[in-house]
Amino acid sequence: MPPSTRRAALTGLAMGTADLVPGVSGGTIALVAGIYDELIEGIASVDGQAVRLLFGGRFREFAEHIHLRFLAPLLAGIAAAVLLLAGVLHDWLEVPESRAMLFSFFMGLVVASIVAVGSHVDWGTSRWVSAAVGAGVGLVVALATPAQTPETALWGLLGGGLAISAMILPGISGSFILLLVGQYDRAIEAVAEFDFATIGLFAAGAIVGLFLMVRVLRWALREYHGITLAGLVGLMAGTLPRLWPWSECPDCADPGWYVPEIGVAGVGLALAVAGALVVGALEWLGRSSAEPTE
């Protein structure tokens, strides 16, 4: 049964919030909430047939074809999170203490996600190999050095395409990809200041990247679901170093990770537990089939 309108909107809100934090992926939220397959199928269904239905005036068939009752509230939730929280999270990430607390919460969320999603995998040799490859890719991405790139139209398009591709992959953050290609501050400031010209550049690149990536993922999930799921679990595990809350220079090639004082570590642990509890709540929502589609 497709997710309800309310559940899709709430999941979208959580996905949008997660995607604003470098190192956290909205795809992780979708996977744990049990809507990942529906998300990929829904986005991939926006194809040539959908265009023909739309311009042919067959609006009901168009809405059914693209799973609009699921996608519309999900995308509305994501957009609401980005518009409402971009400025707030940007300010929090600028302060080392609040950044550490935020990353503590999300590290707990991602660790619990690895356990939750991994429990649904029928582990065997091929799955372990896939997980190892995914972990290797995630680790390379997590330890990559951010680049310095110009604020040109081309880099805006490229940044949008790469970021959206990462956003739908559990474990890889679209925000972190923007950071790697040197476009994160530009994107966040554009949203916070309602710079629609720059937002449009990122959005155009994102549309192209999104429709390319979802077709690859849809094929992989249809043909090799277990292996793909195991690879995504590995991907989440490999990116964990990027979420370590305490570092002297989070965005440097050498982050300077350290262990804080006991009191600070205790607060971080409590927030990590809170993140894990959020995953538990999302898992519960994902298993719930009693709520009818609205």
pLDDT single digits (tens) 36-52: 888 888 888 888 888 89
Is 293 inside any structural domain? no
Is 251 inside any structural domain? yes
State the Cα angle at 170 between 187 and 282, rounded to 5°. Answer: 105
> Is the pLDDT assigned to residue 290 strictly greater than 60?
no
pLDDT in tens, 57-103: 888 898 888 888 888 899 899 888 888 887 777 778 778 888 888 88
Backbone torsion region of residue 18, taken as left when φ is above 0, otherwise alpha when ψ lies between -120 and 50, otherwise beta: alpha
pLDDT bracket for residue 247 (50, 70, 90) = confident
Report the C-alpha gap between 4 and 10 in whole angstroms.
10
> Is the pLDDT assigned to residue 245 strictly greater than 60?
yes
Find the DSSP H helices in the chain: 5-19, 26-32, 36-44, 48-55, 59-65, 68-94, 96-118, 125-142, 153-167, 174-180, 184-192, 196-223, 225-238, 262-287
Which range is least confidently modeled, 220-224, 225-229, 245-249, 265-269?
A: 245-249
Report the C-alpha gap between 154 and 174 in whole angstroms.
18
Is 294 inside any structural domain? no
Using DSSP, state whether 171 is helix, strand or coil.
coil
Is 143 inside any structural domain? yes
Q: Is the pTM of this model over 0.85?
A: no
Confirm if 16 and 81 have CB atoms less than 8 A apart.
yes
Is 292 inside any structural domain? no
pLDDT score of 288:
64
Q: Return the amino acid letter for 123.
A: W
State the Cα angle at 237 between 74 and 83, rounded to 5°. Answer: 30
Report the C-alpha gap between 292 and 282 in whole angstroms.
17
**Could you give the angle at which helices 262-287 and 96-118 cross, rounded to 10 degrees?**
40
Using DSSP, state whether 216 is helix, strand or coil.
helix
- The DSSP 8-state label assigned to residue 3 in this structure reads P
Q: Name which residue leads in pLDDT, 267 or 165.
A: 267
Confirm if 239 and 139 have CB atoms less than 8 A apart.
yes
How many domains does the structure of the chain reveal? 1
- Cβ burial of 208 (10 Å; 0-12, 13-18, 19+) is middle
Report the C-alpha gap between 148 and 181 in whole angstroms.
7
Across-strand partners of 257? 247
- Cβ burial of 100 (10 Å; 0-12, 13-18, 19+) is buried
- Cβ burial of 255 (10 Å; 0-12, 13-18, 19+) is middle
> Is the pLDDT assigned to residue 198 strictly greater than 50?
yes
pLDDT score of 127:
94
Is 205 inside any structural domain? yes
Shortest CA distance to 66 belongs to which of 55, 80, 54? 54
Confirm if 64 and 70 have CB atoms less than 8 A apart.
no
Confirm if 177 and 25 have CB atoms less than 8 A apart.
no
Is 201 inside any structural domain? yes
pLDDT bracket for residue 287 (50, 70, 90) = low
Backbone torsion region of residue 273, taken as left when φ is above 0, otherwise alpha when ψ lies between -120 and 50, otherwise beta: alpha
Expressed as residue numbers, the domain containing 206 is 5-287
